Structure 1
């Protein structure tokens, strides 16, 4: 099987633009709770914003932008964390036909310069003084930037006051002139394998994405009788986060914002807002597990926790086998699962507010065992696959038919073709209009008769579900000619609570090796619980125990591959790969080539030593493959 398509579920956008949904909802349901904001007067409380209140703010800001010189087609960059004002500015801009250019709040001056000049941005919204300084550093002779508005200097109020001299009719006239094929956003790719490119996303692209997801998956957003609600914490500068924002406003899901996505801030926000659904990336699901595991270790319940996680994976796997005609969980496994649900799983669900029963993972494929683990915890994670060029998702797990380890079927209205070399090609209404630098030497629009070559490798299983196996440019060819896709090994390494990042290397080398970084929070807790090194004859020191723990994680990862694909040597690095060092994109994807260049000496040393890790015994390989994600 090399081709598969799914009929469309939602009608295409035939007129108007994205801002129309805000005005339509306000006209027909003015008291509808469209959003929620933090109440500054009561810490931790949320204040609802009605459809009419939000629409009035969008109108006032749209008048202000118009009064300050923004016109249809004007490209306005927005450099901010995920917050209420982000949504307000984007919809005000769309209401007058402007074009949004999202920028990560962590962008460097060089990255910002590339975006400002490449998209010919004439105005920018920033969050604070630090961002304004970055803009000043980024501007050069090629810059066309003429306006800068700063959120923490009350720019919204000043713009709204300036807009009072214009009439609502001035905004409505421009809004009604917006066509579905008009440009809504210029979203830049992460640039993991080259310089970032501006993707032209139309109003119709985003509407097709969001309307399709709501038509097919809307029933998963909340339990019967509950009002769907979602806490957005993904960066809106990423197409995934931008899609989540639009989907909420078009689908009637109450939207709230969390600017700080760190676990220390995110988990309390989730607990107080109590969303019914979760959009996240694999990293977030991994951190939730890691945080729960740390809490269990601090409380002296680590053995119980690890046993519960093993049962969760086995239970979910048995249920998946039952759906395929297998036996399903035996009575003993069901009883253990019910016990751990009361003791462990319910507490993890409370970390997310207690109401989440389904979630979506995107950004990168979800590790199969992690999907099984959450299913066993009582939260079904629907994995999907997409790119900036596909306005978000292009595949998704069908409702009620999850196949863990895959990224699902084509989104309704979309199609997938597998090239002879395994590259995934896609087409559909969600596929972008082309690159901003259409016609440039590096490939023009990127489309071939409507088909987009993704650069990702994969295959379709017996039921037509897509399995992503890696990137074409990431495949490692060892000196003995063996092809190794590093993604699976890296995912299995990062499944260990101590390991935060890993990069598998081995191009033109005799065997595969790995660079490994450790999670600082988990490492600190691990060391505190083990104390100071003992004296002579008192057993291995904590550092020796740490090396042994990482060695076991490597052996468990090796248990999933053949001997020739296994990791024979590894290096634990003193710090994590960071965006500031140019080793990671703002969406947390590792820049593999940059890492290999930066750590060339360490990689050379791994092979110069000629030291290989002892392979796992056959017994160990069977045991590690069977015990699940966190079992020792």
Structure 2
């Protein structure tokens, strides 16, 4: 079993996550710690103001009966109040339990029942009704607090008579070994399990990133570092960004939607200096930028600029890794010209200040990573799980290998088992699953976490994820295929929203493909054609040929036995509402195959 590791931090942090709020307020009371969007304007929140709000809300929680070790659910989109509740709950030693705002009543019932939550914070009336529909089965639940009805103000008012010392007594009882949160896995292969993550897990993760990647967070052109948090706080990635920013004195703003139509104006107004994002965001930004270029009659200019960006970034990558001299004179001249014509405009879409971006959650294509780097925004891809408190590997500053997920973060180690499975260990690895000792024993082996992912380590210790063990397809001829890479290549076509490869115990590989409605509308408009309804799109010969070319291009990366021989266009995208995607937008393979069983059978009909 090959292994690679990174040296640990000099000294692990002690105490709980809320301590940093009180420490920063004492040391730098005027530091702008957060920004709140009020009537369309970002209002600063100093470290002292935030500390006072956390303390006041913590007092209110105590008056409502929340005690040390109690679990309180939070069901909301990403917002300032979520961060406030997190730190107020941590200040009294309580345990926040995130619930995705799109969760169905049965999912909510399961999480609240298993965690024995004593209260639930909800964003609005719809969430309150979802919780209310199942509260008869939740005897421990004593309160539903609604954000849009100013539950924060009501709790603060309730706690006015509580002495500060009572909160501090609770806070100082929190140790690194105390449970900080219970985050449920995405449930791609069954019922979600609650991961028990400690305060020490989060501090190890945040401090590793701040120490190892601090230079890219503070590469800001002279302005204070700031990031816009738009990742779901119900997901471990979003929570990690929150904790790292608060611990590192980095200003954060909140935005609750991932759609490009909503996100881009928020980025333009907030003007972050760096971002944490998922590949979906990069794909949509690139796609929309090219569509606008096409509409303006500048598609050829955009494509040439994209080719130059990729070539320039690849040359710089080779130089950083000691394999080449860097961009030659002609490439530098072309790059400078396109910077004025194209790249500056792309950077302006993200607020104009972003120089570095960290990507995680799923695989980012190498070409897309090179494009953004060539456009002046280097993407550092990482890899992690809920069980590892987000990133356990990441590309190092100044030496990214695009297409890989980098090297272990400080204090972590990565090994590849004989069957290709990725195993990891370190201070960020969780303590187990709530109420699932057998699953915990299966996952944690002699201090190592068996991730279930397949991967490879190169000669420099960089990890590449090649698939999931449980997703391996074995055709009837005995050919093994990890479908992820093939699916990503099909999905790289602008018209394709999703692709699911099938073929287990079948004579050949096939695929289910969904279309991006906005991209389809744009494609039709450029061809002067009328908009198609769903069934018209599925029957359109020219459209079918366009997707066939995307499949053929994807097949060039694999052998004949692994290639997609047939595909089916589906009438709608996979969605979480249909139970076909997890809340973090990962495909539930078995659910999709069951839902479209007839379509799959027709793909193999003689």
Shorter-chain TM range is over 0.9
For residue 163 of structure 1, what is the aligned residue in structure 2? 159
| Secondary structure in structure 1 of the residue aligned to 2:137 | coil
Q: 2:435 aligns with which of 424, 434, 437?
A: 437
- CA drift at 1:544: 2.8
Q: Does structure 1 conserve the Cα–Cα contact (< 8 Å) formed by 2:80 and 2:254?
A: yes
Q: Distance in 2 between matches of 1:22 and 1:68?
A: 23
Q: How many residues align?
A: 599
| Structure 1 Cα separation of the partners of residues 78 and 556 of structure 2 | 40
Q: In the alignment, which residue of structure 2 is the partner of 1:383?
A: 381
- 1:84-103 aligned within 5 A: 84-103=80-99
* Residue number in structure 2 paired with 1:5: 5
Q: Aligned to 2:253, what secondary structure does the other structure show?
A: strand
Decide whether the 8 Å contact of 2:212 with 2:409 is kept in 1: no
Distance 1:215 1:7 in 2: 12
Partner Cα distance (2:311, 2:483) in 1: 26
Following superposition, the deviation at residue 533 of structure 1 comes to 6.9
Equivalent in the alignment of 1:335 = 333
1:107 corresponds to 2:103: yes
Residue deviations 1:589-614 (CA, integer Å, cap 9, x gap): 111111111111111111115xxxxx
Return 84-93 or 307-316, whichever deviates more.
307-316
Residue among 581, 594, 597 paired with 2:578: 581
Which of 147, 154, 161 aligns to 2:150? It is 154
User: Which residue of structure 2 lines up, in the alignment, with residue 562 of structure 1?
Assistant: 559
Query: Using a 3 Å threshold, how does the CA distance of structure 1 residues 439 and 308 change in structure 2: closer, same or farther?
Result: same
Where 1:364 maps in the other structure, the secondary structure is coil
**Which residue number corresponds to residue 398 of structure 2?**
400
The answer to whether the 8 Å contact 1:10/1:212 transfers is: no
Q: In structure 2, what is the equivalent of residue 509 of structure 1? A: 506
- Aligned partners of 1:21 and 1:189: how far apart in 2? 27
Cα distance change on mapping 1:549 and 1:175 into 2, 3 Å: same
Counterpart in the other structure of 2:534: none
- Residue aligned with 2:96, SS: strand
Residue 182 of structure 1: aligned partner: 178
1:491 is displaced (CA, Å) by 1.0
Cα shift readout 1:522-544 (whole Å, capped 9, x = no counterpart): 1112112222379xxxxx99933
Deviations 1:233-267 (A, max 9, x none): 00000000000000000001001001122111110
**Is residue 236 from structure 1 mapped to residue 237 from structure 2 by the alignment?**
no
1:346: which partner in 2? 344
Equivalence for 1:65: 61
Moved more, 419-428 or 306-315: 306-315
Separation (CA, whole Å) in 2 of partners of 1:71 and 1:144: 13
Question: Separation in 2 of the partners of 1:208 and 1:135?
Answer: 34
| Number of the residue aligned with 2:17 | 18
Residue deviations 1:602-631, cap 9 Å, x none? 11111115xxxxxxxxxxxxxxxxxxxxxx
Q: Which residue of 2 aligns with 1:622?
A: none
| Residue of structure 2 equivalent to 1:421 | 419
- Measured after TM superposition, the shift of residue 322 of structure 1 is 3.3
SS of alignment partner, residue 101 of structure 1:
strand
- Structure 1 unmatched runs, 5+: 535-539, 610-632
Q: What residue number does 1:628 align with?
A: none
Offset of residue 142 of structure 1: 5.0
Cα drift, residue 551 of structure 1: 1.3
Residue of structure 1 in register with 2:46 after alignment: 50
Does structure 2 retain, via aligned residues, the 8 Å contact 1:60–1:164? yes
Q: Deviations over 1:73-115 (max 9, x none)?
A: 0100000000000000110000000001011111111111111
Q: Is the 1:527–1:542 Cα contact (8 Å) retained in structure 2?
A: no
Looking at structure 1, the residues matched to 333 and 564 of structure 2 have their Cα atoms a distance apart, in angstroms, of 38
TM-score (norm 1): 0.92
Unaligned residue ranges in structure 2 (runs of 5+): 532-536
Distance between the aligned counterparts of 1:319 and 1:90, measured in 2? 41
* Contact kept? 1:394, 1:410, Cα under 8 Å: yes
| Cα pair 1:530 1:542 within 8 Å, conserved | no
Q: Which residue does 1:619 correspond to in 2?
A: none
Q: 2:313 aligns with which of 304, 308, 316?
A: 316
Corresponding residue of 2:526: 529
Find out whether 1:245 has 2:242 as its counterpart. yes
The answer on whether the counterparts of 1:532 and 1:542 sit within 8 Å (CA) in structure 2 is: no
What is the rounded CA distance, in whole Å, between the counterparts of 1:309 and 1:548 in structure 2?
A: 25
Q: TM-score, normalised by structure 2?
A: 0.96
**Deviation at residue 444 of structure 1 after TM alignment:** 4.3
Q: Give the Cα separation in 1 of the matches to 2:295 and 2:579.
A: 35
Corresponding residue of 1:553: 550
The residue aligned with 1:297 is 294
Per-residue deviation, residues 389-438 of structure 1 (Å, max 9, x unmatched): 00111111111110111111111101112111011111100001111124
Do the aligned residues in 2 keep the contact of 1:312 with 1:377 (CA within 8 Å)? Answer: yes
Give the corresponding residue for 1:363: 361
Number of the residue aligned with 1:618: none
Note closer, same or farther for the CA distance 1:286–1:18 as it changes in structure 2 (3 Å cut): same
Q: Are the structure 2 counterparts of residues 334 and 555 from structure 1 closer, same or farther at C-alpha, using a change threshold of 3 Å? A: farther
| 1:10 shift after superposition | 4.9
How far apart, in 1, do the equivalents of 2:293 and 2:529 lie? 21
**SS of match in other structure, 2:213:** helix
- The answer (yes or no) to whether the contact 1:205–1:429 under 8 Å persists in 2 is yes
Q: Partner of 1:164: helix, strand, or coil?
A: coil
CA distance in 2, matches of 1:64, 1:457: 47
The match for 1:595 is 592
State the SS of the aligned residue for 1:13: coil
Aligned to 2:445: 448
Name the CA distance, whole Å, in 1 between partners of 2:560 and 2:136: 53
Return the offset for 1:140. 4.2
Structure 1 CA distance for aligned equivalents of residues 16 and 563 of structure 2? 51
> What secondary structure, in the 3-state scheme, does the structure 1 residue paired with 2:444 have?
coil
Report the RMSD for the aligned CA atoms in angstroms.
1.7
Distance in 2, matches of 1:598 and 1:472, equals 22
1:136 aligns with 2:132: yes
| Pairing of 1:278-293 with structure 2 (within 5 A) | 278-293=275-290
Deviation at 1:450, TM superposition (A): 1.3
SS in 2 for 1:608: coil
Q: What is the rounded CA distance, in whole Å, between the counterparts of 1:83 and 1:219 in structure 2?
A: 27
